[in-house]
Copies of this chain bind each other. A is one copy, B any other.
């Protein structure tokens, strides 16, 4: 539905209010009737379809195959891996009635699918010939969260979950990092959001994993969003679910497993990172509409001629794989259209009126800089492709600068506390790796360990908080 630009809240006033307002007004999503649920509207869902297409291309090339497992998990399955059930039990939605009758065993709605998948892996894997087994699932999952936030934390969300089984730990670890690199690629090269990556602390790792590697991204308010995770499950689940294989020479062994996931939260992070007081800004590489074409019909315009020209431009751009849409609604004004597409964050607006028709040119307006330019129709496909590439780079560089500006090495506890009270951001500091100390830091500053960067060297230092011996500088931030 149409709306006035002035109605939109300002990002410069309050990021959080702006975000909720922009998501709804841009027709990306809407609130569901059940607390914490969300409707993903066509304009938002089209971006998820882009993510699916990009990710499917990457994983299929690697030999990962898509499949689908049931959403209902018997409670007894979840209980097989002790750490796993401890982590997920508080967040479960439970079906207790089916077909009008009380069920003998209640069923959990999947919060993640390790347990139900690995029961099958046990049946499917007999010998080394069946390995590696690499499965991915696109599905909905449910986690009963107390505080919810459109896209960033909803009771039900969409995601992909990859699950693999290997003959050796080395091969499994390599898979863990391949998945992490896929996520980095999606964030940096498509969503235009630079990442902070590394290993999670024992407290923050996935329930049931040996270790978790995470992609973290910095949001405008200086908080960190856990944006994707890749887990080395070791043989933990293999032992709980008895997933074994006959090896080439050594008899029966447990498989080595990994799991890794990326959810619709990724889109939320992208919306939150980019965008300005006029609405969202969608990076061209992920935009379902890269250029919206708006024909401007005046009283004395030869409408038929103008629209025919408009569609020939559309056809030409689509030939060059530029995702375009002509907005030729005659029920709302041109001014309203401009506003609506700005709020939606479409990278380029192309205006075509009598002047453009006569001069065989296009008026192009860039969403992020508001720069206006005239482009000859004959050069349009090339020029617009280039403008998209430049905007993609510009958006990324802006976020990269923001990340750099807000990542600080700190050596004093007072400084740590002060930054967490003001600008927030990422703090790199020595930490003793003791869970109790980690909790005290959180209680004092709301900051938690986000990760130990992959390239962090082994050093000799003292913990930023407790002063005990520390060998690595960890990344701290307040978490979403």
**Which A residues have a C-beta under 8 Å from some C-beta of B?**
1-2, 30, 32-34, 37-42, 45-46, 48-49, 65-74, 77, 89-100, 106-107, 109, 116, 119-120, 123-124, 126, 129-130, 135, 139-140, 142, 144-146, 155-156, 158, 329, 331-332
Contacts and interface: CB of A to CB of B under 8 A. Distances in A.
A206 B159 CA distance: 31
A28 to B, nearest CB: 11
A46 B32 contact: no
A320 to B, nearest CB: 20
Contacts of A107: 34, 93
A94 B97 contact: yes
A99, A116, A123, A331: residue with the most chain B Cβ atoms closer than 10 Å: A99
A435 B40 CA distance: 41
Contacts of A42: 65-67, 135
Given A34-B74, A156-B71, A95 B109 contact: yes
A418 to B, nearest CB: 36
Contact of A329 (B32, B68, B129): B129
Given A42-B66, A49-B66, A93 B97 contact: yes
Contacts of A69: 32, 39-40
A65 B90 contact: no
A39 B68 contact: yes
Contacts of A46: 65-66
Tell me which of A39, A41, A126 has the highest count of chain B C-beta atoms within 10 A of its own C-beta. Answer: A39
B124 A1 contact: yes
- Most chain-B CB neighbours within 10 Å: which of A72, A126, A135? A72
Given A33-B70, A139-B140, 12 more contacts: A2-B129, A30-B123, A32-B72, A32-B116, A39-B68, A71-B142, A72-B156, A90-B99, A93-B98, A94-B98, A99-B145, A99-B146
Contacts of A71: 140, 142, 156
A41 to B, nearest CB: 6
Contacts of A40: 67-69
